[in-house]
Amino acid sequence: MTDSTFEECFTLLETYHDKPQPAAAKERYREELAGVPDELFVEAVNAATRKYAPGKFPSINELQGFVEDAHESLARRRPKTAPEAPPDPEEGKAVLQKIRAELDQRDREKEQRAAEKRERDRQDRTQRINARKQLFDKQALELKEQRQSKVSKLARLSR
């Protein structure tokens, strides 16, 4: 596989799972998957993003399993009589664009959820402030009534 394909797909995986991998781990992935054709690797990364929820970064063995599945899937899709054609770089680009679009959509959804959470937090703070204000007003009214009661008692006593 080409370095650019590996870098782009691996970066997409890291972004999708929001788990940047250390350089040593990235190099182990590169070494273990070096002989995989670009098309299979792109398909394997696509399968990994479909199968695993964000946050579960696939291991090397899991990615190799996805590569094997992609190989079988691609073999089933190709006609048996057709000669083995080189992988179409445009197909790989289309898959990468699809993954990017999915990641962009997830980012937009994540931002929307964050904005909704900020709004809920703001409303909660407002409610707490209003509740404290009502409590303060109630306590102030009670103190005022107590003072008036004491003043009226003193006035009656002084008569």
Identify whether the C-beta of residue 14 lies closer than 8 Å to the C-beta of residue 21: yes
What is the 3-state composition of the chain as percent helix, strand, coil, each rounded to the nearest 5? 80, 0, 20
- pLDDT of 88 > 80? The answer is no
* Gap between the Cα atoms of 128 and 138, Å rounded: 15
- pLDDT of 130 > 60? The answer is yes
- Please tell me the pTM assigned to this model: 0.48
- pLDDT of 82 > 60? The answer is no
pLDDT band at 65 (very low <50, low <70, confident <90, very high): very high
Average pLDDT over residues 76-99: 75
- Digit-coded pLDDT (tens) for 90-129: 888 888 899 999 999 999 999 999 999 999 999 999 999 9
pLDDT band at 79 (very low <50, low <70, confident <90, very high): low
User: What residue spans define the domains of the chain?
Assistant: 3-129
Mean pLDDT of the chain: 88
pLDDT of residue 85: 66
pLDDT greater at residue 114 or residue 56: 114
* Gap between the Cα atoms of 136 and 106, Å rounded: 44
Mention every residue, 6+ apart, whose C-beta is less than 8 A from residue 6. 29, 30, 33, 41
**Percent above pLDDT 70 for the chain:** 93
pLDDT of residue 142: 95
* Gap between the Cα atoms of 48 and 68, Å rounded: 12
- Taken as a whole, the chain contains a residue count of 159
- Digit-coded pLDDT (tens) for 10-38: 888 888 888 888 989 889 988 988 888 88
